[in-house]
A and B are shown apart, each in its own frame.
Chain A
Amino acid sequence: MTLADARLGGTFTVGTLELDMVTMRRLEALGLTKGTKIKLLNRNRSGSVIIMVRGSRLALGRKIAEAIRMREVL
């Protein structure tokens, strides 16, 4: 699944990012690397999300959310 269709409130492990290089590197610098655990805190009607990653909150637009593949940690 991707971050765009993940369950609100769930915790997930980041898989691959399918984004342009610059955005991908910026996300990685923010700690969103493969295998990182993230928590999905919020999603608004336009599909933007708020996630918790390595202790800080990030707001990401829909296009970025759609490009982050991950699986749920149960």
Chain B
Amino acid sequence: MKEDLQIGFVGNPNCGKTTLFNAYTGANLKVANWPGVTVEKKEGAFKYHDRCFRLVDLPGIYSLTSYTMEEKLTREYILNSNVDVIINIVDASGLERNLYLTLQLIELGIPVVVALNMMDIVKERGIKINLHRLSEMLGVPVIPVSARKKTGLDALMHTVAHYRDEEIASNLKHHHGDMKQEEGHRHKRHKEYPVVYSDLIENKIDIISDMLRAKYGRLEHMRWYAIKHLEMDAEVQAKYPIDLSKVLKQSHEEDIINQKYDFIEEIIEEVLANKSSKAASTDKVDKILTNRYLGLPIFLGIMAVIFFLTFQIGDMIKGVFEGGLEIFSSKVLILLNALHAGEFITSLVVDGIIAGVGGILTFLPNIFILFLALAFLEDSGYMARVAYVMEGIMGKVGLSGRAFIPMLLGFGCTVPAIMASRSLKNIEDRRRTILITPFMSCSARLPIYVLFSQMFFGKNAMLAAFSMYLIGILVAIIVAFIINKNSKKEGDTNLLIELPEYKAPNMHTIFIYVWGKVEDYLTKAGTTIFAASVVVWFVLNFGPNGMVKDMSQSFGAIIGKAIAPLLAPAGLGMWQVAVALISGIAAKEVVVSSFSVLFHVNNINTAAGMASLTEALAGAGFGALNAYSLMVFCLLYIPCAATIGVIRRETGSVKWTAFTIFFQLAVAWLVSVLIFQIGSLFLAG
């Protein structure tokens, strides 16, 4: 068995790295059509003939500088771990811009194989790329692939496997057309490097290389470090400090960038034919979707349709699940009786687990539809446009339109949404976005709205549920506005985002995305919600004197009664509500499970289940206004345990995390008290 091969996937954002990575490793990492989906490196492996190929999917970058988090992460990985080969995924439909990174990667000195992706799209447009010439000019192998259609995959890995056999440097062939040929470096160096800079810069590279060699010995990536010194790259300066006061007066970064792009123009001139043809369809769609007047109403319309479908269609299919649960529940009861299981076990299984977990499973259709819609949104290319459309509103509250992408993802799940805030360049911007993203109503809160709005609002149920989403957005924006007014630090309101071309959503991508979410939901039901239901059952069925017949004697009731007075101004002063809210910190769906357990409702998402719960609540004076206040409180209060974890990880600060928890609790209390008190006035009047 030959040694393992370590392979890094590097490329621009949204060039198809992750799709290609999934194609090789069989992984199901998230793919979407907006720049910045991958924020962490992901590893995978597969067997190629008798060798183990270890692949690493790195976040998309435009450049090997260290100005953004993604760049730092990718660069650090390439420099510090023993990457044998870099596969540089190049989006053939955006060749010119993509080659900029390619040139930088080649400059590093690690073997590079270019995977020219999206060749199918290029062919459709009638564009021709001279692959042979491109490979000659870059001095590295260029392999056409289509990650989506899975073509060229074998050829690519074959090339990678033989990278050492290739006498790459000798393949370099340059003409420079009729360009003025300078004496000195230009042609001597072209045997070694594709990009040869002006004499001024090449001389300095030589001087700096000598200085580095004198001080640090033979470095890998010597030329690259020298070039980075010329660019006055802060990280390289700190890593290999040398005194350049005699060599450098100012950074040559701009010249270096310009000369690379000059060379790219040469390449494009030679290898690309039929440049400007059918790229116009995206522009036509954009004329409508990003129209200065229509853009915002269209976006709001799309969101309204998504929520309408989530509630309406979700409700239509939910009956199947309910029937199934009912049958299952009665079968288990029969089985338990047949086994002569004691009261304890029967109660735990039926009242605790089935009521808690089973009730949650019936909301799966709603969750499924919501994520299906979000998948379409993400895969079509519309996501990045939302940042552009929302730039005006977000700018008014001191955030860039780009911050709206995490917020929008927050409708699905807050955890990946907070991770997505990494694509924001400004730290202040990130913190604010992380603070307000949990206010965006995630799918875990959906069961709470579905249940309580149907129980208390009859025909207006959907309106009541939809208003939660609006309140969430409104609170998020108001909070951002207040922070912005009171903060001396300036948020980054400079939008800068690439807009990908629209494409017809890929069924496979969407399937993977939605299936992943369904799996997450089921896993959550089987783990967190299961455990929480069992705990809630225990806390409610045991008291200081052992197992209790009456829940109001239980530990849960004791805790609930201690907290209930605090919630009374919001109309939530019942000990049962307090218990449900505390349990909801594990995961928001648990609020619903807890209600099932608390009120012995076995199939909570059915008409009968709802009726019995409504009756029980009404008996305690809990009406529509209380229900609405509860929905608002659930929308805004402490994020779930998983979210708290990710906030802690992303901000790297326990203090900030604690502040977020406290702050959101305070906001939830304030808003629900306001709603309940004002609502009470109206109802009284």
Interface residues of A (CB under 8 A from B): 22-23, 25-31, 33-34, 36, 41-46, 48, 50, 53-64
Contact = CB atoms under 8 A, between A and B. Distances in A.
Contact of B286 (A41, A46, A53): A41
B190 interface: no
A50 to B, nearest CB: 6
Given A22-B425, A48-B401, A61-B400, A27 B496 contact: yes
27 contacts: A22-B425, A23-B494, A26-B67, A26-B425, A27-B496, A31-B97, A33-B258, A41-B286, A42-B292, A44-B292, A45-B392, A48-B391, A50-B388, A55-B96, A56-B97, A56-B499, A57-B500, A58-B496, A58-B497, A59-B384, A59-B388, A59-B401, A59-B497, A60-B496, A61-B395, A61-B400, A64-B494
Nearest to B293: A45
B466 interface: no
Interface centre among B68, B94, B401, B496 (most CB of A within 10 A): B496
Contact of A44 (B254, B295, B493, B501): B295
A44 B67 contact: no
Given A50-B388, A59-B495, A61-B400, 4 more contacts: A25-B257, A30-B498, A42-B292, A59-B496
Interface string B384-402: 1101110110010000110
Interface in B30-81: 62-63, 65, 67-68
A46 B395 contact: yes
A57 B493 CA distance: 19
Contacts of B96: 31, 54-55
Given A25-B67, A54-B96, A61 B493 contact: yes
B480 to A, nearest CB: 16
B286 A42 contact: yes
Interface residues of B, number: 46
Interface of B: 62-63, 65, 67-68, 93-97, 100, 253-254, 257-258, 261, 275, 279, 282-283, 286-287, 290, 292-293, 295, 384-385, 387-389, 391-392, 395, 400-401, 425, 493-501
Contacts of B261: 31, 33, 36
Nearest to A41: B283
A17 B68 CA distance: 20
Contact of A56 (B94, B258, B283, B391): B94
B498 A58 contact: yes
A58 B12 CA distance: 14
A55 B125 CA distance: 13
B499 A50 contact: yes
A22 B104 CA distance: 18
Contacts of A29: 62-63, 65, 100, 257
A59 to B, nearest CB: 4
A4 B293 CA distance: 18
Contacts of A22: 67, 425
A22 B400 CA distance: 16
A58 B495 CA distance: 10
A74 B439 CA distance: 50
Contact of B496 (A42, A44, A45, A61): A61
Contacts of A55: 93-97, 275, 279
Given A23-B494, A59-B495, A44 B290 contact: yes
Given A45-B292, A45-B392, A63-B493, A28 B254 contact: yes
Given A30-B62, A30-B97, A44-B290, A25 B392 contact: no
